[in-house]
């Protein structure tokens, strides 16, 4: 206990004092990207990284079919490099999350954590640990209420929150993340992002208008979900992760892999360890060797999901 109390390097105030948070990360400083982009369709084209199973027939409401066809459904970040993005949703206990952090540290890798925030204040030190390890911090909402759900009677998608309720949820989630991690930096860069992952990956016109007009910069779904909360063995989950990471034994460049940090995802840390260990054993010229990366390294100002050329130009200017 004494060593913990004397660890001055990791001592912090909760909530983080507002003056310790960079001006551009404070809630009131969030840009209105809806206005900046010239409307919701433009924002969705530029700032939505989609999911192949979310379409006009499933988990989307408020958009016409021609509009939906403009949206990304690849779940891939534009890159020429064999980069893979491991992402973790929801929330969990010290047991589940510390296992993930141990594996990431062991392999000198970083990931992006999309935090379900309504229980975070019961254990802010756990979120702080995720952040201080240099991982991205994004929002997965406050109450995990999807933008759209299927009505059991009509079989059509419907909203379950009013616009005012959704605004409150989006604002509350970000303020909680800021109150714990707003002053944390890694290699000179803030770990708190303005990235949002929608609960169940569902989207609605009203919901995304709220997100983009209230400071969130990108809505991120992914290439594939491992559904790790339902697997029955490490081997099964390793196979699911491989299916998302590789295409015919080559790295699926830019793939965003959706996983979970919850206690129910009991095999996730072990499977991730196996995947990263096998990857490290590959030679550098192996087409199956990937580079684990954080979304914040690629989703920067000027990135445009609708313009691979523009986004790849940004990548070529990055200093490795």
Query: Does residue 5 have a pLDDT over 80?
Result: no
Q: What is the pLDDT of residues 193-207, one digit of tens each?
A: 999 999 999 999 999
Q: What is the pLDDT of residues 243-266, one digit of tens each?
A: 999 999 999 999 999 999 999 999
Query: Does residue 319 have a pLDDT over 60?
Result: no
pLDDT at residue 1, rounded to an integer: 52
pLDDT at residue 10, rounded to an integer: 78
Q: What is the pLDDT of residues 49-71, one digit of tens each?
A: 999 999 888 999 999 999 999 99
pLDDT at residue 263, rounded to an integer: 97
Query: Does residue 223 have a pLDDT over 90?
Result: yes
Q: What is the pLDDT of residues 98-109, one digit of tens each?
A: 999 999 999 999
Mean of pLDDT over the chain: 96
Q: What is the pLDDT of residues 281-315, one digit of tens each?
A: 999 999 999 999 999 999 999 999 999 999 999 99
pLDDT at residue 7, rounded to an integer: 72
Name residues whose C-beta falls within 8 Å of residue 219's C-beta, 6 or more positions apart in sequence. Answer: 44, 47, 48, 49, 195, 196, 197, 198, 203, 208, 211, 212
Query: Does residue 122 have a pLDDT over 60?
Result: yes
pLDDT at residue 4, rounded to an integer: 59
pLDDT at residue 286, rounded to an integer: 97
Q: Tokens 């010239």 belong to which residue?
A: 38
List, in order of start, the domains of the chain with CATH numbers. 33-297 (3.20.20.370)
Q: What is the pLDDT of residues 20-55, one digit of tens each?
A: 999 999 999 999 999 999 999 999 999 999 999 998
């Amino acid at each position: 206990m004494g060593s913990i109390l004397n660890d001055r390097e990791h001592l912090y105030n909760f909530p983080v004092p507002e003056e310790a948070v960079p001006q551009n990360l404070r809630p009131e400083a969030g840009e209105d990207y809806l206005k900046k982009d010239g409307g919701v369709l433009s924002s969705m084209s530029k700032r939505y990284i989609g999911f192949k199973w979310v379409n006009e027939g499933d988990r989307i409401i408020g958009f016409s079919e021609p509009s939906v066809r403009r949206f990304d459904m690849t779940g891939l970040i534009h890159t020429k490099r064999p980069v893979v993005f491991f992402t973790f949703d929801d929330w969990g206990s010290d047991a589940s999350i510390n296992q993930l952090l141990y594996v990431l540290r062991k392999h000198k890798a970083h990931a992006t954590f999309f935090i379900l925030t309504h229980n975070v204040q019961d254990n802010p030190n756990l979120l702080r640990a995720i952040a201080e390890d240099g991982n991205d911090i994004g929002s997965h909402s406050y109450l995990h209420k999807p933008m759209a759900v299927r009505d059991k009677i009509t079989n059509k998608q419907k909203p379950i929150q009013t616009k005012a309720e959704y605004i409150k949820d989006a604002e509350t989630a970000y303020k909680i993340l800021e109150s714990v991690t707003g002053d944390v930096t890694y290699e000179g860069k803030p770990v708190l992002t303005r990235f949002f992952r929608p609960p169940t990956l569902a989207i609605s016109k009203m919901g995304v208008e709220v997100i983009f007009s209230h400071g969130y910069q990108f809505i991120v779904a992914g290439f594939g979900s491992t559904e790790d909360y339902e697997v029955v063995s490490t081997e099964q989950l390793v196979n699911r992760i491989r299916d998302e990471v590789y295409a015919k034994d080559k790295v699926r460049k830019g793939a965003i892999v959706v996983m979970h940090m919850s206690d129910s995802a009991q095999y996730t840390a072990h499977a991730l360890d196996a995947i990263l260990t096998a990857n490290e054993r590959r030679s550098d010229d192996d087409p199956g060797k990937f580079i684990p990366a954080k979304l914040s390294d690629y989703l920067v100002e000027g990135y445009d999901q609708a313009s691979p050329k523009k986004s790849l130009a940004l990548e070529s200017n990055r200093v490795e």
